[in-house]
Amino acid sequence: MRPQHTEMSENTALREVVEEALAAGVGEDGRVMCSILSARYDVDLSLAASADSGAPALSPFAPFRIASVTKPYVAAAIFRLWEDGLLDLRQPIAELIQPHTNAVMTEGGYSTSEIRVKHLLAHTGGVYDHCHDPDFVTTVLRTPKKKWTRLEQVAFAAKYGAPYGPPESVQHYSDTGYVLLGEIIETVSGDRLGTALKRLLKFERLGLHATQFEDDVYFEDASNPIQHARFDNQSTEYFDPSFDLFGGGGLVSTTREIAVFMRALLTGGVFERPETLAAALAMPATPHDPSNDRIRCYLLYRYEWLGAECWGHTGFWGTEAFYCPTLDLALTLTIFESGDNGRAKRLALREMIEQAMKSVL
């Protein structure tokens, strides 16, 4: 299946090999979207492919829920507040979260006076991850239209999962930690999370018009609706977005706008000072998470791609986004599928794109 829509790139050879990789990666029943940006290689490419020839053509600029790819935006907003002098990364979260949230955390066995903002950023606060708890997943699947609150999710983590360890003793991925960071952004900025992200991260200046928070004020463009992923073999179209909304996820965007943001984030287009980016890319002293094959800094994960050091993040719905500074190359792809099967498809597609690009770069 050939990609259905293409934004023409000046680098025709690169466009052709990536088209072939996407056509191979879409499989028998899949959908894929991909964007590649690089001034060095003269490419601004966005593609979409679908195995369903009877469905309406899939636009490469269709919005979708980016899930945990939201986390770099949240982390960057925290660093923007830090460089504006509005919070300290070493500040105890007890001073920044709401009193009722603090009470729930304390009752769950957490010392919020010892957990610092920097610990939540790097997943080293020991905070139990509600989002990957089997009972939470079961509840979401059984009641997909349930409207969650931030406090309910924090309370779920505090009630059903023990801390992974004292702060800075272990690195363990935690959506709950980023839900708390979302609350901290709202508390410090005085804005709704979506409004704060838009302002702090310069969405208007960067041209990120499709990048929005899917909260109660989100308005879906009927002419370019959200493309929804599959979860446990069912469409998530009617899933209330609140199950993944409060900072661990929540943004809707396009592959191209994510690529634009990742490039800006790592090239001085978001932070006011280069020292802020250096601090955000620093590695915590905590031992590396053995369950994760990627190295985590405070802002992003470190990759190697096309033989270069790159920085990026993945999302639950089969999304991956990263930027390679020495290549000036940003790549974002999504396959609209979760779980182990989705991860395998995403990694295979990333490998096919890498091999295709090696053949012409």
Residues 102-132 pLDDT 10s = 999 999 999 999 999 999 999 999 999 999 9
What is the model's pLDDT at position 133? 94
Helix/strand/coil for 313: strand
Q: Summarize the confidence of residues 140-146 as an average pLDDT.
A: 95
At 137, is the pLDDT very low, low, confident or very high (cuts 50, 70, 90)? Answer: very high
Residues 305-341 pLDDT 10s = 999 999 999 999 999 999 999 999 999 999 999 988 8
Question: Is 299 inside a domain boundary?
Answer: no
What is the model's pLDDT at position 288? 63
Q: Report the chain's mean pLDDT, rounded to a whole number.
A: 92
Question: Is 288 inside a domain boundary?
Answer: yes
What is the model's pLDDT at position 2? 44
Answer yes or no: is pLDDT of 169 > 70.
yes
Secondary element (H or E) of residue 355: helix 339-358
Q: How far apart, in Å, do the first and last CA atoms of the chain sit?
A: 24
Percent of the chain with pLDDT over 90: 79
Q: What is the CA radius of gyration of the chain?
A: 20
Least confident stretch, 227-241, 249-263, 313-327: 227-241
Least confident stretch, 53-67, 87-101, 134-148, 181-195: 53-67
More confident residue, 167 or 341: 167
At 25, is the pLDDT very low, low, confident or very high (cuts 50, 70, 90)? Answer: confident
Of 297, 358, 319, the C-alpha closest to 311 is 297
Least confident stretch, 119-123, 168-172, 191-195: 168-172
Question: Is 352 inside a domain boundary?
Answer: no
Of 192, 173, 153, the C-alpha closest to 71 is 173
At 351, is the pLDDT very low, low, confident or very high (cuts 50, 70, 90)? Answer: very high
Domain total for the chain? Answer: 1
Domain that holds residue 203: 64-254+271-294
Q: How many CB atoms lie within 10 A of CB 173?
A: 18
What is the model's pLDDT at position 309? 95
Cα torsion through 277, 332, 35, 327, rounded to 10: 50
Instruction: State the CATH number of the domain containing residue 101.
Output: 3.40.710.10
Helix ranges, the chain (H): 12-25, 70-83, 99-107, 117-121, 134-142, 150-160, 175-189, 193-200, 203-206, 255-265, 274-280, 339-358
What is the model's pLDDT at position 286? 75
Answer yes or no: is pLDDT of 178 > 80.
yes
Residues 149-164 pLDDT 10s = 999 999 999 999 999 9
Question: Is 15 inside a domain boundary?
Answer: no
Answer yes or no: is pLDDT of 4 > 60.
no
What is the model's pLDDT at position 348? 93
Question: Is 325 inside a domain boundary?
Answer: no
Answer yes or no: is pLDDT of 7 > 70.
no
Question: Is 10 inside a domain boundary?
Answer: no
The tokens describing 202, both together, are 């310069």
* pTM of the complete model beyond 0.75: yes
Residues 50-96 pLDDT 10s = 987 767 789 999 999 999 999 999 999 999 999 999 999 999 999 99
More confident residue, 5 or 285: 285
What is the model's pLDDT at position 8? 47
Answer yes or no: is pLDDT of 34 > 70.
yes
Task: Let me know how many helices (H) and strands (E) the chain has, helices first.
Answer: 12, 13
What is the model's pLDDT at position 289? 64
Question: Is 330 inside a domain boundary?
Answer: no
What is the model's pLDDT at position 287? 63
Helix/strand/coil for 349: helix
The tokens describing 321, both together, are 């986004």
Percent of the chain with pLDDT over 70: 95
Answer yes or no: is pLDDT of 11 > 80.
no
What is the model's pLDDT at position 126? 95
Answer yes or no: is pLDDT of 28 > 90.
no
Residues 46 and 255: beta-carbon distance below 8 Å = yes
Question: Is 84 inside a domain boundary?
Answer: yes
